[in-house]
Structures are given as structure tokens and as C-alpha cells.
Chain A
């Protein structure tokens, strides 16, 4: 029977003290956001944020611990926002949310920055086992960015995949890597593009010496996109069972899935806190409704990033997820 592993896609909300302290230190305008060159008091504040995130995940008892991505002012566009070959321009809407990020415009050859690796290095000092890296998937990162250098969509996607692979090669040892791919749902690739998206994910996954989860959210993948994604050599695909359980179950039943699976069973965008029993029921529901599958590892996760939530509710959700009775599910 499956092993249940509790985890999250990261991008946590800043603690309230950090919201105040960092607004005072950095300011409120777009030029004040993270560019990767911060130091001193700002770096120190983020170090305290990181330690709070790690402590909370460990005391709650989550099986995988993320760095928390408190610095990611531009959400999952962050890795590009701090890259040298990128200009950050106007504020643009982040998917279908009342949230905004700086449009990253690629103007030169992309080169890895080591920015995410440095965050993971800092987190690894506090985490003995179960460290999980989080990155945008190449399709979503390319979708959120604008290309003024590579010239065509295929070349740009390959360049973004290569950039992410180079970032990964600088990572310390991590147990798991979550590649967040909401654009596969929100702005799905068309014919031909879907195959390229899968190949790009494959190329990024190949760079990681860790279990790789290609995590999707805000709905279910179209059948063709899903079928292509199955060709990518990842260890698990992640499904958002909060946003759409029927189509996700359909995809799994119709096309199968990897040996492992990630199930988004906690709502990262609503303050209503699901209890451990409710979370367990949702995991069991998926298991019951996909009779043709036998998952080896089930990553039980929050469906989306959690920065949408007030800090108290995000903490309560982590606690509830960590408290799921795995014995009942595995029985």
C-alpha cells in the first residue's frame, strides 16, 4: 500500500512581523523588490523568516520541508526576476488572482544565478533530512516571462529549461523537487507546443538528483497535454483535487499516472481549515476512484502556493496536513 508523504508547494506568506519589517526596509514600489543583491538588514530579516518557516514545518511534523520562498516577491517568476539577462518591467496580473508580479523580460542569454541554490544551502543548515526544492516548471516560467532575445517560442522554452537545469546543478542535496506548472492548466500549450512543454520538463527533471514532482493546479490538464506530460521522465505528477476532482480522476483513470502521485487536497486559497480527517478522506477518495492504480508514494500537499492566506491560517493548514493519520489511509 502507498506511503503517504506530507508536503507543500512552498511560497509561504510572510509572518506579520516580517511584512512590517521588510516593507520598512525595502519600500512599497516595484523598484524596491528583490533583485538578488540585497544584504545586511534585509538578508538578516529573510534569514529569520526562513528559520521560522523551517521550525514550523518541523514542529508540525511535515515529511518534506521547503525553504518557504519568503523572498519570492514575484512569486514563481522569481528565478528570472533575479537573473542578469532579465529586465523587470511593469506590474502584471498573476494568473486569475488579485495578485501582481513584475513582468520579467529576457533581453540576453540566460545564465544560472545560484540564487535558489543559496536559499537551499541556508535551509539545509537547519534540515537534516527531507529537504524539498521548489522551482517553477519551464513551461510556466516561460509563460510568465516575455522574450526579447531568443526570438521564437521553442528556442525560448529550451533556454528557460536549460536555465532551470543549470540552477538545479548548483543545489545542495535535496530529497524532492517540486516543479510548479500552473500554466499547463491556465494557459495550456497547443498542438506541438504540448510535446515541447513535456520535453522541457523532462530536461529540467533530468538535471535533478532527487524525486521530481511536476505539480499542476487551478484545475485539470486537458487530455492531450496530460498524455504528453506522461512522457516526461518525472517521478510524479501533481493534481489539484480542490479545484477539479472529476477531470483529474478521469485523466488518471484514462491515461494512468506515474508510480508516485501528488494530490493537492488542502485549499491554499481559502481560510477554511480542513481538519486532518477531511484531508484523509480526500486522499482515500482519490484512491477509491482510481481502482486501476497502485500508488507507491502519495505526496499529500496543499494544492497551490500559500501566500494567498493570512499567516495564522497558513500555519493551521500546515498543522492539519501534518496531523493526517497515515495509518488509516494506508490500511
Chain B
């Protein structure tokens, strides 16, 4: 696989070493955007689709710029136009129907959709989102897409013989969307498959989905896979066979107890290491984040380490999310400086004998 990382090194990058800094995707929505959605759903309000478009554009611009101000190398719009990671896509794909909310736990619900006909590409999913973000940002944009296995696993399947067949059909639709995104200029795609963590025995199905997803995607397009909150030993090292450049993994929340999983067998792809916790509402100090980044060198050398939060930051207060990103970028730059100066001598960051 070609090196897809170097294209994201900023021209004015201050250090020889380059730890790519980015985010997983979702971000806390401004309160006024939540209010705008309520107005959109209120039949008695005069707030219409045009107003909603303007509101989401404003929110996407605001959050994109908030990401840029942290100095991060690759940014997102915080998924301001998406209400939820499955619902959003299910509304756009033909073949889905919504019947109402179901319980996840306590009084937390999810509008779990039903597949009632074979799925087909309906409305465009993310090209508008990408083009807008790309137009307001000076920096490269990453596009997170909910993966087909998660889209299948978190839906009711009324039509397909099994979930696997549904996942493959959805994978073909994801492939179609990526083609459109690439035509629009996208260079960094992230497939989010949180459902893999809960049903790790299906890792071969996820692999077969990814084969379909990357079919005819140009080699210089960087494709990542995000998995979180699971037992990685059940999918590693098998997952290294997936046709992706990078694995984005949550490890900070578990205090890196699972890091050993990845050292027993050589990690042959890029690692996007979670270095700040998405479920702790306190900003980690730069020094602590630096220690977390250095842990990544036990698995991959610096040129294959990406630095990101564990997961989407949408559950955190905005000021906390911002603080985490800002400290994360500063920590990465300081680690790069120390690598340049030969001051870090850990695992795969150790200077080679030649």
C-alpha cells in the first residue's frame, strides 16, 4: 500500500518528525443548533428546511474553525449535520423505515431503523458536508462514515436472509459514496465500525465489507477504520489483513491495558492512537498526553503513528473537548521536537543501529 500519510504534512510543519494529529469525528453541537432542530420538527414553527440548512452551515463553519484553531493537521466539521451515526444514513438510504425509539439503557433511546426492502443508494450522504467543510477550512478534511457492518447490526433486518448479506449490500453503497467523495476531492476516509467490538466473531464479515468498500478507490486516498470499547485480542492480528491504511483505536479509556495485544504480533499498518479520553470531562495536561503518545511507539514507529482522541467528543462540554484537542496537538508537537532531538528512546522510536 502506498504512503498516504505524507500528503497531510502541513507545508510549515515545524519539525522533521510528523505525528499526524486528527479527531475521530463527532463533536458537541452548539445548544442553538439543538434548538434549531426542535424548531424544524415543530409543525407550528415557521422554521423551514432553508433555515435548517443555514443553521447547519453556521454550526459546521463554527466547529470546523474551532478544530482549525487547535492547530490540528486533519480536521472534521464535528458531524454537525448528523443527528446520530446510524439514523442519519438510514434516512438517506432507500429500503429503511423508522418505527420509533427503542431502549439502549435506562431512559436512553435510539431510533433504530428497520430494513424493509433491499437497500439502494437514495439521496447523497456526505458530499455536501465534505464540500462545505473543505471550502471553509485551510486544512485537509477527514470524512467519517458509519461502516456497513454497524449499519446492519444496529438495524432490524426484515428482508435479508442474514445480517451478513445486508452488510455486503450496504458496503456496496458505502463504496459508491466514497467514489463520489473522492470525485469531490476527499483524500481521507474513516470507516466507523463500533459494532465490531461487540461481536468480534464477525471480524471476517467486516473484512469482506471493507474489500467491497475500497474497490476501485485510488491508492492515494487514505482509508482508516475506527473501532472502540471492545476486546481487541479477539480481532487482532486478523484485522491487519483488512485493506485499510490505519486503525483508529480507543485505548486511553482502558488505561492502555490492551496495548500488549498489539505488541505480540507486529503491527504492520498505521496506528491512530487514542491519547485523550472521550468519557472523562477533564482536560488531560500536556505532559500526561505526551506520555500516552510515547506509549504508541511500543507498537509502531513515529512515522506510522497518528494521534487522536479515543472516540468522538460529542458527549463532552465544548470547552473541555476544545481543551483536549488543543493539548493533544501541543503534546504531539513537543514529542516531535523531542524525537528530532533524539531525546526519546522507547520501543520503535529508538534510533536504529545504522
B47-80 interface bits toward A, Cβ cutoff 8 Å, 1 = contact, 0 = none: 0000000000000000000000000000000000
**In the complex, A314→B101 CA distance in Å?**
12
- A310: chain B residues at CB < 8 Å are 99-102, 112
Identify the closest chain B residue to A11 (Cβ): B103
- A98: chain B residues at CB < 8 Å are 104, 110, 153-154, 195, 198
- B107: chain A residues at CB < 8 Å are 19, 22-23, 26-28, 32, 73
- B218: chain A residues at CB < 8 Å are none
A100 at the interface (CB under 8 A from B): yes
A37-73 interface bits toward B, Cβ cutoff 8 Å, 1 = contact, 0 = none: 0000000000000000000000000000000000001
B292 at the interface (CB under 8 A from A): no
Contact B112 A100 (CB under 8 A): no
B48 to chain A, nearest CB (A): 25
Q: A19-B109, A96-B199, A310-B112 are in contact. Are A272 and B104 (CB under 8 A)?
A: no
A99 at the interface (CB under 8 A from B): yes
Contact A28 B106 (CB under 8 A): yes
- B103: chain A residues at CB < 8 Å are 13-14, 99, 307-308
Contact B106 A93 (CB under 8 A): no
**In the complex, A133→B157 CA distance in Å?**
31
Q: A16-B100, A310-B99 are in contact. Are A271 and B156 (CB under 8 A)?
A: yes
A120 at the interface (CB under 8 A from B): no
B158 at the interface (CB under 8 A from A): yes
**In the complex, A12→B102 CA distance in Å?**
11
Q: A19-B109, A101-B105, A312-B99 are in contact. Are A271 and B154 (CB under 8 A)?
A: no
**In the complex, A270→B100 CA distance in Å?**
13
B12 at the interface (CB under 8 A from A): no
Residues of A3-19 whose CB lies within 8 A of B: 13-14, 16, 19
Interface of B is mostly: mixed
- B109: chain A residues at CB < 8 Å are 19
Total number of B residues with any Cβ neighbor in A under 8 Å: 22
Contact A100 B105 (CB under 8 A): yes
Total number of A residues with any Cβ neighbor in B under 8 Å: 33
- B153: chain A residues at CB < 8 Å are 98
B114 at the interface (CB under 8 A from A): yes
B235 to chain A, nearest CB (A): 16
B46 at the interface (CB under 8 A from A): no
**In the complex, A23→B105 CA distance in Å?**
11
- A269: chain B residues at CB < 8 Å are 156
Among B103, B114, B158, find the residue whose CB has the most chain A CB atoms closer than 10 A.
B103
**In the complex, A28→B107 CA distance in Å?**
6
**Of the candidates A26, A29, A311, which one forms a contact with B100 in the assembled complex, judged by CB atoms under 8 Å apart?**
A311
A126 at the interface (CB under 8 A from B): no
B195-228 interface bits toward A, Cβ cutoff 8 Å, 1 = contact, 0 = none: 1001100000000000000000000000000000
- Can you list 25 contacts pairing A with B, beta carbon distance less than 8 Å? A13-B103, A16-B100, A28-B106, A28-B107, A29-B106, A30-B106, A73-B106, A73-B107, A94-B105, A98-B154, A98-B195, A98-B198, A270-B157, A271-B158, A272-B114, A272-B156, A307-B103, A308-B102, A309-B102, A310-B100, A310-B101, A310-B102, A311-B100, A312-B100, A313-B100
Using A16-B100, A96-B198 as known contacts, list a sample of 15 further A-B pairs with CB atoms less than 8 Å apart, ordered by residue number in A: A14-B103, A26-B106, A26-B107, A73-B106, A73-B107, A91-B105, A94-B105, A98-B153, A99-B103, A101-B105, A270-B156, A270-B158, A271-B114, A271-B158, A309-B102
